[in-house]
Amino acid sequence: MKQFIAFVIKEAKHILRDKRTMLILFGMPVVLMLLFGFAITTDVKNVRTVVVTSEMSPRTQQAVERLAQSEYFTITQTVSTPQEAEQLIRSQKADMSLTPCPIPAEAPTRSLSPKGEGGRSLQWQIMVDGSDPNMAQQWTTYAQSILSQPVGDRRYSLPSLFGEGQGVRLLYNPQMKSAYNFVPAIMGMLLMLICAMMTSISIVREKEKGTMEVLLVSPVKPLMVIIAKAVPYLVLAFAILITILLMARFVLGVPLAGSLFWILAVSTLYILLALSLGLLISNVAQTQLVALLLSAMVLLMPVVMLSGMLFPVESMPTILQWISAIVPPRYYIEAMRKLMIMGVGIGEVAREVVVLAGMTVVLLAIALKKFNVRLE
């Protein structure tokens, strides 16, 4: 046991002495959390809006003021014709334009449509930059919600826009913050990349230096040598996990609605899976460069594209949904979203936990078998 602890301390010292590795291990989570929390966001804010004043009235002016006073839109200027507004959008000087249009007398009118001069009913023509269809749809929905509010309603926050007055309730994420979606995804990506990549590179580095043979002929069993090299990365993964959770809660305002114990328990299972995958990669790769490339190709692209981190799995083509079924981060991200954001119990994520446990057993068995074959 003393020799095992000595191996663990030896590996920990190697990690702590490498300042670049420590910078990557703890700098990457902080940078990614700040980027996805504040810079790379799908939240609607400061949409540059142009208003066409050809059919303006006191009531439509009040509707425009409600739009301007919200945090989502910024009225940049007013123009006289829709053609001028379209030209501003085409020249990238505006994102959206609003044009009040009279409704013919014989046409059915909406009860929330404002009245123009002489009591005529008006409707709003909204023109948006559709180069990004997802954001264009969000801008349109937000603008319609604000403009359709009664004139006397002074509530401009998102819950009031999609609240009881509109017959729609947003559960779990009433402010529609994108951080609620990205934080579990970042956890899945970072824990997989750091644990698998660093473990595989650490073991392959010993092979390149020729010190692995020295370690294997020591009194400690070969399996214990490998476990000793993985233990420091297990501890580091927990430190990174705690860092992410603290930043999510106190910097980005993402709630931890579920049990912290089960969040840590499922994360531990996922970390063990990532370490098993790193051990498997180390058995295949002969150099650190090969291990790095394998980790990047096998882990990075599938994690980003097929795990549901950026795109819903249900929206993917059928063949990609089948491929995503073997991507471990998919199940971890789903479990974390349910535990952290929805606050469900462990029974609601039983399927994800069973799949992760099965993958861990399979990967660990294959990795250990290949490792024993190499020793023989």
Q: Is the pLDDT of residue 155 over 60?
A: no
What pLDDT is attached to residue 61?
79
Say how far apart CA 314 and CA 294 lie, in whole Å. Answer: 28
What pLDDT is attached to residue 106?
52
Residue in this structure with the two tokens 């929805």, named with its chain if needed: 342
Average pLDDT for 275-295: 82
- Using N-to-C axis directions, what is the helix angle for 19-34 and 179-209, rounded to 10°? 160
Residues 324, 318, 36, 340, Cα dihedral to 10°: -70
AA letter at 98 = L
Read off the DSSP letter of residue 95.
S
pLDDT 10s digits, 137-148: 888 888 887 777
Question: Mind listing the domains of the chain with CATH numbers?
Answer: 2-40+177-375 (no CATH), 47-166 (3.40.190)
pLDDT 10s digits, 188-216: 888 888 888 888 887 787 777 777 667 66
Of the candidates 40, 54, 113, 111, which has an alpha carbon nearest to the alpha carbon of residue 82? 54
Average pLDDT for 314-339: 89
Question: Can you name the residues that pair with 98 across neighbouring β-strands?
Answer: 51, 126
Q: Report H helices in the chain.
A: 2-17, 19-34, 58-69, 82-90, 133-147, 158-161, 179-209, 212-216, 222-250, 260-284, 288-295, 301-306, 318-324, 328-336, 350-375
pLDDT 10s digits, 53-100: 877 777 777 777 878 887 788 888 888 888 888 888 888 888 888 888
What pLDDT is attached to residue 150?
59
Cβ-proximal residues to 175 (8 Å cutoff; 6+ apart), any chain: 158, 159
- The model carries a pTM of 0.74
pLDDT 10s digits, 308-317: 877 788 878 8
pLDDT 10s digits, 225-272: 778 878 888 888 898 899 889 988 888 888 888 889 999 999 999 999
What pLDDT is attached to residue 33?
79
For the chain, give the mean pLDDT. 78
AA letter at 57 = S
- Using N-to-C axis directions, what is the helix angle for 179-209 and 260-284, rounded to 10°? 40
